[in-house]
Structures are given as structure tokens and as C-alpha cells.
Amino acid sequence: MNAIRSSLRMLLGKRPPAMQVAAICLDRTSGKVLLISSRGTGRWVVPKGWPMAGRTLHGAAAQEAWEEAGIKGKIRATEVGRYRYDKTQDVGFAFPVEVRVFLLEVEHVADDFPEVRQRRREWFFPGQAAELVDERGLQDILRALPDKTACSDAAARCNKDTHDGG
């Protein structure tokens, strides 16, 4: 019976969303995250792609960070969140995708990487990055990250206020 229901859901368009993985590349020193331009529209996104055979989900996300942004680092095995979006195909239709997001602490930024000629990359504080991406769920994940912009003008006072209970 379950097989029949699953088949009917797929035929009627109620199948579960496809899954992708993404990496939020975080520079711990500055507190900034990396956004890259999408190849199709040029809008700001995080590195993401499809799961890969022989790799864990977080391992695939780390591989996407390398291929799309030239970033290497330590990736956490635990998701920091999930979001959904509709992936538009070249032929004009779209399908739902659920993206599982992993945090990657940046250790190396390469000048040469597989998609260097296809993308732009730029660092933003998490709150700024959230304003630039289109996906509401990704905005929420980015806003949940610590944002050092509040400390940029008065670092000593901010550090004292936020870490000393003030």
C-alpha cells in the first residue's frame, strides 16, 4: 500500500523535495561569511550542490566550497539548518529542493579553483549576507550566526558588555 501511495504522490507532483548540500564558509577572525555569485543569474548564494557518491553530506558540502569558491577548511558534521527553494531548469520548469547547510571554518582561500572564471566571491558579515540572498530560510540561518558588526566601532566596550554580563 505504501508503494502505491508513493507512486501516486510522484505522479501527482507530491513527491518529497530533492536534496542538496551547502557550506556556509565562515572566517572566524573577521566573523564574515563568503557569498558567491550564481552562474546563471549572478545573484548571491552560498556554495551548494548535489550529494556525491562516496562522500558524507558534509563532505560533499566541503567539496562544493572548494569547487565553487576555492575554500578549504574544517567542516562540521552537524547541520546548522535547512532551507527550501525552487530550482529552475533551463527548460523553464522548477522543482522543490531542500538544502542541508553545514558550517565550514575557513583555513585557506585559493586564488585558483575549478570555477574561478564562472563566479565572483565576496565576504560579508552574516547580517549583510542575509540581506543579499533571496532564500528566506537561508536568510534565517545566516541571521542566526554571530555577527561581529555590532562590535566593529567599539570593540573593547562591546567585548566587555557582551562577555561580562553587561
Q: How far from chain centre, in Å, is Cα 34? A: 9
pLDDT of residue 138: 98
pLDDT of residue 153: 43
The more confidently predicted of residues 99 and 16 is 99
Residues in the chain: 166
pLDDT band at 152 (very low <50, low <70, confident <90, very high): very low
Q: Report yes or no: 71 and 80 within 8 Å, Cβ to Cβ.
A: no
* 55-77: average pLDDT: 98
pLDDT of residue 160: 34
DSSP 67-117: HHH-EEEEEEEEEEEEEEEEEEPTTS-EEEEEEEEEEEEEEEE-S--TTTT
Q: What percent of the chain has pLDDT over 90?
A: 69
pTM of the model: 0.80
* 10-37: average pLDDT: 87
Q: Which stretches within 32-152 are classed as H helix?
A: 57-69, 126-132, 136-143
